Amino acid sequence: MTKGNMIIKNASELVTCSGFNTKRGKEMSDLNVIHDGAVVIEEGVISAIGSTWDIFSSFAKDNFIVVDAGGRAVLPGFVDPHTHFVFGGDRAREFQWKLRGDSYMEIMRKGGGIVNTVKATRKASKEELVESGKKRLDSMLSFGVTTVEGKSGYGLDLDTEIKQLEAMIELDEIHPVDVVRTYLGAHAVPPEFQGRGDEYINFIIEDVLPVVSEKGLAEFCDIFCEENVFSAQQSSKLLEKAKTMGMGLKIHADEIVPLGGAELAARLGAVSADHLLHASDRGIKAMAESGVIATLLPGTAFSLKKDYARARFMIDSGLSVALATDQNPGTFCSESIALVFALASLYMNMSTEETLTALTINAAAALGRAGTIGSIDKGKKGDLVVLGPHPTHTCRTAQE
């Protein structure tokens, strides 16, 4: 018996979410479901899909581990394309401030928020970051996540940013969940650069980006484009430089105020623009025309008691929408894909089909991986989720 060879049979619904590129508009409702389905995985790669009868008529069962789905639904492994899961410390105290009515920006001005976590992350060893990160990946896997994006951004210096990214490299090597790394040094202005945001952007461009790029520590570069954080002009300067270094672009855009982040993402050809609670109609249209994916984070809006991003309008405008948890220590410290699914359905007017697409093939596209994960298609990795009345069972068949 060859390691990694498996047949999953008797799926009441084999929800393939079939596709090798992002889906937009009405395409997001097409899940391409196979009833009484089966899928064949050889050496960790999907080699065939079809009805259970057809598959068992074509393959010798003795060469495979056979898993009976028992009439449960089988889906592609979920992809979480926006998280900050590697960090030190916690921000439990800030929850009380939020209950008292303090705004996100007020908490930051009091020394809370991102800078609070920066202090703890700078103190933490890489081993401590790996240990805590592994626990969060374990939780993600229990929710059916097989690929996750992890951002740095809790060092805001050279050494700690590298430490975070190297911790993610180690986690990717030792954990079943695949980790995609994003450099987010421009997450906030650190205390030592307070009031000198332009100088900090120059520091990133001159001292940090070259190291990140040369060592291959991150695939994407991100920035928090927001009022009192980084302006659209500063964001453009950093992202344009990162693009010349061969890095994919992401942007925290229009979360608190409409700052033109969606328009900037479209102009620069970013892979995704994320949050978008206050994205303008013009920005949404520009993103749709340029093919930028809207990665929406309903858990953060829920936690902050903010209006949700206009998912319905975005989809109806032909935009490609993905969903993510935004797992982070401050605004949504949860790995729950189930909660994200519920919030998107209840408060963002997304159908079940659209939500599944947003958590699979579109989420994969938001990481530049729609060609290898995010759907049950021949030639893709055998990352699958079996749903049922008990905790989700996640199948990872790629060779160790």
Per-residue DSSP letter, 308: P
- Answer whether residue 16 is part of any domain: yes
pLDDT band for position 304 (cuts 50, 70, 90):
confident
Mean pLDDT of the chain: 93
Residue % of the chain over a pLDDT of 90: 85
- What CATH number does the domain containing 170 carry? 3.20.20.140
Q: What's the pLDDT at 399?
A: 37
Is the pTM higher than 0.75? The answer reads yes
Residues 43 and 62 reside in one and the same domain: yes
In terms of DSSP bridges, do strands 73-76 and 321-323 run parallel, antiparallel, or are they unpaired?
unpaired
Residues 10 and 105 reside in one and the same domain: no
Q: What's the pLDDT at 391?
A: 46
Lowest mean pLDDT among 56-60, 165-169, 357-361, 362-366: 56-60
- Answer whether residue 370 is part of any domain: no
- Answer whether residue 190 is part of any domain: yes
pLDDT in tens, 110-122: 767 788 899 999 9
Q: Which pairs with CB-CB distance under 8 Å and at least 24 residues apart come from 390-394?
A: 391/142, 392/142, 392/143, 392/144, 394/77, 394/141, 394/142, 394/144, 394/145, 394/146, 394/176
- Answer whether residue 95 is part of any domain: yes
Q: What's the pLDDT at 63?
A: 83
pLDDT in tens, 251-289: 999 999 999 999 999 999 999 999 999 999 999 999 999
Residues 172 and 36 reside in one and the same domain: no
- Answer whether residue 1 is part of any domain: no
Which run of H or of E encompasses 73? strand 73-76
Q: What's the pLDDT at 400?
A: 31
Residues 228 and 331 reside in one and the same domain: yes
Residues 49 and 185 reside in one and the same domain: no
Burial code of 32-45, b = ≥16 C-beta within 10 A, e = fewer? ebbebbbbbbbebb
Residues 118 and 263 reside in one and the same domain: yes
How far is the CA of 128 from the CAs of 13, 125, 156, 183, 379, in angstroms? 41, 5, 18, 20, 37
User: Does residue 390 carry a pLDDT above 80?
Assistant: no
Q: What's the pLDDT at 227?
A: 93
User: Does residue 388 carry a pLDDT above 90?
Assistant: no
Residues 260 and 306 reside in one and the same domain: yes
Q: What's the pLDDT at 361?
A: 98
- Answer whether residue 46 is part of any domain: yes
Residues 208 and 218 reside in one and the same domain: yes
Residues 64 and 84 reside in one and the same domain: no
Residues 38 and 91 reside in one and the same domain: no
Q: How many domains does the chain have?
A: 2
Q: Which amino acid is at 111?
A: G
- What CATH number does the domain containing 22 carry? 2.30.40.10
Question: What residue numbers bound the domain in which 90 lies?
Answer: 78-365
Contact 271, 292 (CB under 8 A): yes
Residues 323 and 349 reside in one and the same domain: yes
Residue % of the chain over a pLDDT of 70: 95
Residues 82 and 37 reside in one and the same domain: no
